[in-house]
């Protein structure tokens, strides 16, 4: 295992594309660079314009490259959306080693066996997540490597998605000149980062409230068991402000970021600001209470919809409560509004790394966290050489030693599956 591995994540969201550079030192992740760009070409979390999305990706990646002084060639890409599905699966193999010691190979084979499920032609497998391994009937094993056995089984969750959005996502990243090392379900990444072991095992709901989409992820018995995306988020709040104050969307967004408050009782009438009225040069003064009177009902509605959706998924009163993340939860008063609407324990999760202490970064950091955990679990290097170069140099293949990473990437897995048929 090399000491300084560099891994890069890409979170392509409705309002921002974020590239985050992590350095993995002896299995510990540090965030060393971040690049953000305003998103163009994404609506409600879905890519609607390839060229605009490519521009946004390039811009975010360039910012991150400049910050750290490296060339990025390979990225782990976050995926989410209402096309994502979870399915339980079971795989069984005979341990191949003569001495019956379970090795890396056996684990890969059993996971691959679990991956063989009947899927409609328009869907494909994104990831296979082991819930537990069973060695010769003994259940509850998290890491069977080194154990002696004849029969290795896995109980796994298969993450699937619709081919069209997956291929559009891959296409955008590849057109940006980057190799997709793997796709990572953002709910898995964010869940691993933001939820405690206790919350995951007792049952909790992770909610990512972004700009155009809100993603719900239900965890129980240590695993992600349900996920759903609803097309609502901070953009709705901004639109309400634009409508309520009769101003343009970009003015409304600025005012929201600076003075926004989701709990009327916490807003101050002495905090005043001016906005340009639409279709005129006249500025009108408002105070923070006026603004909160617009925001609070919308935020309340968002939490009502979240609660309904969790209920629709078949869960209520999970002991771990709700853990909120995503850019929208940065707004003062959101926690109080959530506590009032959800009537459960609620907390806000923020990545605990210098430079990314903002709930908008949870998914991007979560992707890196997930990659590091997967490799640690597999006892192999997190891949990716530092390959540090002075900034501004032309872009050759950035990190040859990234190839040494042993976890099979999504694209490689696709190739393998394909080769099975030849």
- Distance, CA of 250 to CA of 54 (rounded, Å): 23
Query: Does residue 16 interact with ligand ATP by CB under 6 A?
Result: yes
> At closest approach, how far in Å is the CB of 181 from ligand ATP?
20
Count other Cβ atoms within 10 Å, centred on residue 25.
Answer: 12
CA dist., res. 84 & res. 400, Å (int): 32
| CA dist list (Å): 64 to 70, 193, 261, 270, 331 | 9, 21, 31, 40, 26
- The interface mask with ligand ATP, positions 18-57, x = CB under 6 A, is ---------------------x-----x------------
**Interacting residues with Mg ion between 3 and 22 (CB under 5 A):** 13
Does 212 sit near ligand ATP (CB under 6 A)?
A: yes
Decide: is 89 part of the binding site for ligand ATP (CB under 6 A). no
Q: Does 330 bind ligand ATP (CB under 6 A)?
A: yes
H or E segment to which residue 12 belongs: strand 4-12
DSSP assigned state of 139: E
15 is a contact residue toward ligand ATP (CB under 6 A) = yes
Note whether 208 and 231 are within 8 A (CB): no
**Number of residues lying near ligand ATP (CB under 6 A):** 24
| Stretch near ligand ATP under the rule CB under 6 A, chosen from 57-65, 111-119, 207-215, 407-415 | 207-215
Choose between 13 and 234: whose C-beta lies nearer to Mg ion: 13
Binding residues for ligand ATP restricted to 228-257, rule: CB under 6 A: 233-235, 238, 253, 256-257
- How far is Cα 289 from Cα 360, in angstroms, rounded to an integer? 25
Measured from the CB atom, the residue of 176 and 363 that comes closer to ligand ATP is 363
Pick 84 or 292: Cβ nearer Mg ion: 84
Q: Could you say which of Mg ion, ligand ATP, none residue 220 binds, taking C-beta under 5 to 8 angstroms by partner kind? A: none
DSSP H stretches of helix in 260-329: 288-312
Name beta bridge partners: 160. 85, 125
Applying CB under 6 A, which of residues 6, 7, 8, 14 lies at the interface with ligand ATP? 14
For residue 255 the two structure tokens come to 């005012």
Q: What are phi and psi of 278, to 5 degrees?
A: -65, 140
- Rounded to 5 degrees, what are φ and ψ at 30? -125, 145
Where does this chain bind ligand ATP (CB under 6 A)? 13-16, 39, 45, 210-213, 233-235, 238, 253, 256-257, 260, 326-328, 330-331, 360
């Amino acid at each position: 295992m090399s000491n300084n591995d560099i891994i890069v994540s890409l979170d392509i969201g409705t309002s921002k594309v974020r590239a985050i550079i992590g350095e993995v030192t002896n299995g510990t992740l540090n965030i060393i660079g971040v690049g953000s760009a305003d998103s163009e070409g994404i609506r409600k979390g879905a890519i609607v314009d390839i060229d605009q999305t490519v521009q946004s990706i390039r811009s975010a990646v360039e910012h991150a490259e400049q910050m750290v002084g490296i060339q990025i060639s390979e990225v782990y890409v976050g995926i989410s959306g209402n096309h994502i599905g979870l399915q339980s699966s079971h795989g069984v193999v005979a341990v191949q080693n003569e001495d019956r010691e379970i090795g890396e190979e056996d684990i890969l084979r059993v996971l691959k066996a679990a991956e063989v499920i009947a899927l409609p032609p328009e869907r494909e497998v994104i990831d296979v997540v082991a819930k537990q391994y069973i060695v010769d009937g003994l259940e509850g094993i998290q890491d069977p490597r080194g154990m002696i056995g004849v029969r290795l089984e896995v109980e796994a969750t298969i993450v699937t998605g619709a081919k069209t959005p997956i291929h559009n996502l891959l296409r955008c990243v590849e057109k940006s000149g980057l190799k997709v090392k793997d796709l990572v379900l953002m709910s898995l990444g964010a869940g691993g980062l933001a939820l405690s072991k206790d919350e995951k095992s007792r049952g909790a709901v992770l909610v990512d409230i972004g700009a155009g989409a809100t993603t719900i992820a239900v965890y129980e018995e240590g695993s992600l068991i349900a996920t759903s995306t609803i097309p609502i988020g901070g953009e709705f709040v901004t639109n309400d402000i634009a409508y309520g104050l009769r101003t343009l969307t970009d003015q409304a967004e600025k005012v929201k970021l600076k003075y926004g408050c989701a709990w009327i009782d916490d807003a101050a009438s002495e905090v005043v600001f001016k906005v340009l009225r639409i279709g005129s040069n006249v500025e009108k003064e408002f105070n923070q209470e006026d603004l909160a009177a617009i925001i609070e009902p919308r935020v309340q509605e968002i939490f009502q919809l979240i609660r309904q959706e969790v209920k629709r998924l078949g869960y209520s009163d999970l002991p771990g409560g709700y853990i909120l993340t995503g850019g929208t939860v940065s707004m003062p008063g959101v926690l109080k509004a959530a506590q009032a609407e959800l009537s459960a324990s609620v907390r806000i999760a923020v990545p605990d790394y210098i430079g990314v202490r903002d709930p908008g970064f949870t998914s991007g950091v979560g992707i890196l966290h997930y990659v590091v955990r997967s490799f640690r679990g597999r006892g192999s290097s997190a891949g990716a050489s530092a390959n540090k170069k002075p900034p501004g140099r032309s872009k050759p293949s950035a990190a040859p030693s990234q190839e040494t990473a042993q976890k099979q990437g999504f694209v490689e897995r696709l190739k393998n599956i394909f080769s099975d048929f030849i």
